[in-house]
Amino acid sequence: MATWQKAERILVILPHPDDEAFGLSGTLAKSIEEGAHVTYACLTLGEMGRTMGVPPFANRVTLPEYRKKELEESCLAIGIQDVRLLGFHDKMIEFEDQDKLDGSIDAIIKEIRPEVILTFYPGYSVHPDHDACGASVVRTVGRMPANERPRVLCIAFSRNTVENIGEPDIYNDVTDFLEQKVASIRAHRSQFQFAELEGRESWKRKEVRDRFGIERFWTYRY
C-alpha cells in the first residue's frame, strides 16, 4: 500500500460530467494546491443521463447544456482550469471507432505529457462507458515505449474488484479538501441529491468525512 505521490502534470480522462466528483475530486484539489497542472479530458456531455433534476428542471434537449455548466462549476470548485470536451456520444463509447477514440486520447497525452493519468479500471467500473474509456487509455499508453509511459492510476468499484485485482495500492486522505469535494458533487445537481451534503459546512460532519474522506486508486500494471 502506498500514499499519493505529488505530480506536476496530471491528465484526467473520464467519459461523463460528474465522474470526477466522487472518486478523485479531493485528490485533484489537493494536487492543485501542491502546484500540479491538471487537465480534464471529458469524453461526453452525459446527454443520456437518466435524471433531469429533482424536481425536473431539464429535458432531453436541454440536459447537455445543463451538464456542461455543472461540469464547469465542479471544475471551478476543484480548481481545474484546463477542461477539454472531446465530443463523443454518451452511452456509445464502447461502440466508437477505436482508432478515432484512441487517437483523440493519444493526441492529448502527447500535448500534455502527463506524469500521471487518472481514469477508470477497464472491466471494474460498472458502466460500459467507464470501462471503454479506461480500456482506450490503457491501449493508448500501452503502445508507448515503456520508459515514456505515464503512470496510469485507476478508479474501480465493481463488486468483484478486490477479489479479482486485489486491494487498491494507493490510499489518499483528502479530508482537508472535503469542502472542494462536496462542492464538486453538489455542482452536478441534475444527477445527484444527497441530504447529508446539504447545508453550510456539511463537509465537517463525521458521516461525510467517513464516507468521502479517502480516495482509492489501483495502478494499472503492464
**All three cell numbers of 54:** 429533482
| Cα 5 from chain centroid (whole Å) | 18
Distance separating alpha carbons of residues 51 and 65, to the nearest angstrom: 14
- 8 Å CB contact between 38 and 10: yes
pLDDT of residue 148: 96
pLDDT of residue 201: 87
**All three cell numbers of 66:** 445543463
The three-class DSSP label of residue 208 is helix
Instruction: Name every residue whose Cβ is closer than 8 Å to that of residue 213 and which is 6 or more positions away in sequence.
Output: 26, 173, 174, 175, 178
What confidence tens digit (pLDDT) does each residue in 33-71 have?
A: 999 999 999 999 999 998 898 888 899 999 999 999 999
The three-class DSSP label of residue 128 is helix
Distance separating alpha carbons of residues 121 and 87, to the nearest angstrom: 22
Residue of higher predicted confidence among 39 and 5: 39
| Residue 186 backbone phi and psi in degrees, to 5 | -65, -25
Per-residue pLDDT at 194 exceeds 90:
no
Per-residue pLDDT at 209 exceeds 80:
yes
Q: Is the peptide bond before 55 cis (omega within 30 degrees of 0)?
A: yes
Residue type at 113?
A: R
pLDDT of residue 195: 86
Mean pLDDT, rounded, of the chain:
96
Residues in the chain, how many? 222
Average pLDDT over residues 140-150: 97
Distance separating alpha carbons of residues 67 and 50, to the nearest angstrom: 12
Say yes or no: domain 2-219 is CATH 3.40.50.10320.
yes
- 8 Å CB contact between 49 and 190: yes
pTM > 0.85: yes or no: yes
Residue 107 pLDDT class (50, 70, 90 cuts): very high
Using a pLDDT cut of 90, give the percent of the chain over it.
Answer: 88
**All three cell numbers of 41:** 479530458
pLDDT of residue 1: 67
Distance separating alpha carbons of residues 70 and 73, to the nearest angstrom: 5
**All three cell numbers of 146:** 515503456
